[in-house]
Amino acid sequence: MKKTILVTGGTGFIGSHTTVELQNAGYNVVIIDNLSNSKADVVDGIEKITGIRPAFEQVDCCDLEALEGVFNKYPEITGIIHFAASKAVGESVQKPLKYYENNLLSLINLLKLMPKHDVKGIIFSSSCTVYGQPDPENLPVTEQAPIKKAESPYGNTKQINEEIIQDFVHSGANISAIILRYFNPIGSHPSGIIGEMPNGVPANLIPYLTQTAIGIRPCLKVFGDDYDTPDGSCIRDYIYVLDLAKAHVAAMARIVEGKNTDPVEIYNVGTGNGVSVLELIHTFEKCTGVKLNYEIAPRREGDIEKVWGNVDKANKVLGWKAVHTLEEALSSAWNWQQKLRERGVM
Q: Kindly tell me the burial class for residue 271, based on how many C-beta atoms sit within 10 Å of its own C-beta (0-12, 13-18, 19 or more).
A: buried
Instruction: Give the residues across from 124 on adjacent strands.
Output: 82, 179
For the chain, what is the radius of gyration of the CA atoms?
19
Smallest distance, Å, CB 154 to ligand WQD?
6
Of the candidates 108, 83, 89, the one whose C-alpha atom is nearest the C-alpha of residue 154 is 89
**Where does this chain touch ligand WQD (CB under 6 A) — which range of 21-29, 221-229, 283-291, 325-333?**
221-229
236 in contact with ligand WQD (CB under 6 A)? yes
Q: Does 115 sit behind a cis peptide bond, omega within 30 degrees of 0 on the bond before it?
A: no
The residue annotated as part of the active site, out of 154, 238, 267, 294, is: 154
Q: Quick one: 16 or 78, whose CB is closer to ligand WQD?
A: 16
Q: State the DSSP string of 251-296.
A: HHHHHHTT--SSSEEEEEES-S--EEHHHHHHHHHHHH-PPP-EEE
**Distance separating alpha carbons of residues 82 and 117, to the nearest angstrom:** 16
Question: Of 114 and 241, which has the nearer Cβ to ligand WQD?
Answer: 241
Choose, by CB under 6 A, the member of 204, 315, 325, 338 that binds ligand WQD. Answer: 204
Q: Does 184 bind ligand WQD (CB under 6 A)?
A: yes
| Of residues 115-144, those binding ligand WQD (CB under 6 A) | 127-129
Least distance between ligand WQD and beta carbon 42 (Å):
19
Is residue 223 near ligand WQD by the rule CB under 6 A?
yes
Minimum CB–partner distance for residue 66 and ligand WQD (Å): 26
Report CA-CA distances (Å) from 269 to 14, 55, 67, 224, 258.
13, 27, 28, 26, 21
Nearest C-alpha neighbor of 42 from the set 28, 62, 58: 58
- Residue 182 Cβ vs ligand WQD, minimum distance, rounded to whole Å: 5
When the beta carbons of 57 and 279 are compared against ligand WQD, the nearer one is 279
The reply on whether position 157 binds ligand WQD by CB under 6 A is: no
Count the residues of the shown chain that bind ligand WQD, applying the rule CB under 6 A.
20
Cβ distance 51 to 166 under 8 Å? no
Based on the shown chain and the rule CB under 6 A, indicate whether residue 208 belongs to the binding site for ligand WQD.
yes
Does 300 bind ligand WQD (CB under 6 A)? Our answer is yes
User: 28 or 38, CB closer to ligand WQD?
Assistant: 38
Q: At what angle do helices 277-288 and 205-214 cross, to 10 degrees?
A: 40
Task: Determine which residue in the list 110, 175, 197, 234 makes contact with ligand WQD, applying CB under 6 A.
Answer: 234
306 binds ligand WQD (CB under 6 A): no
180 binds ligand WQD (CB under 6 A): no
Selected range binding ligand WQD among 73-81, 201-209, 259-267, 338-346, rule: CB under 6 A: 201-209
Q: Kindly identify the residues of this chain, within the stretch 62-101, that bind ligand WQD according to CB under 6 A.
A: 87, 89
Characterize the bridge pairing of strands 235-236 and 275-276. antiparallel
Q: Tell me how many degrees the CA angle 127-9-243 measures, rounded to the nearest 5.
A: 55
Q: Residue 233 CB, nearest distance to ligand WQD (Å)?
A: 7
The verdict on whether 154 is a catalytic residue reads: yes
Three-state DSSP state, 317: helix
Q: Does 277 bind ligand WQD (CB under 6 A)?
A: yes
DSSP 3-state of 306: strand
Residues that bind ligand WQD (CB under 6 A): 87, 89, 127-129, 182, 184, 203-205, 208, 220-223, 234, 236, 277, 300, 303
User: Any idea which residues carry the catalytic annotation?
Assistant: 154
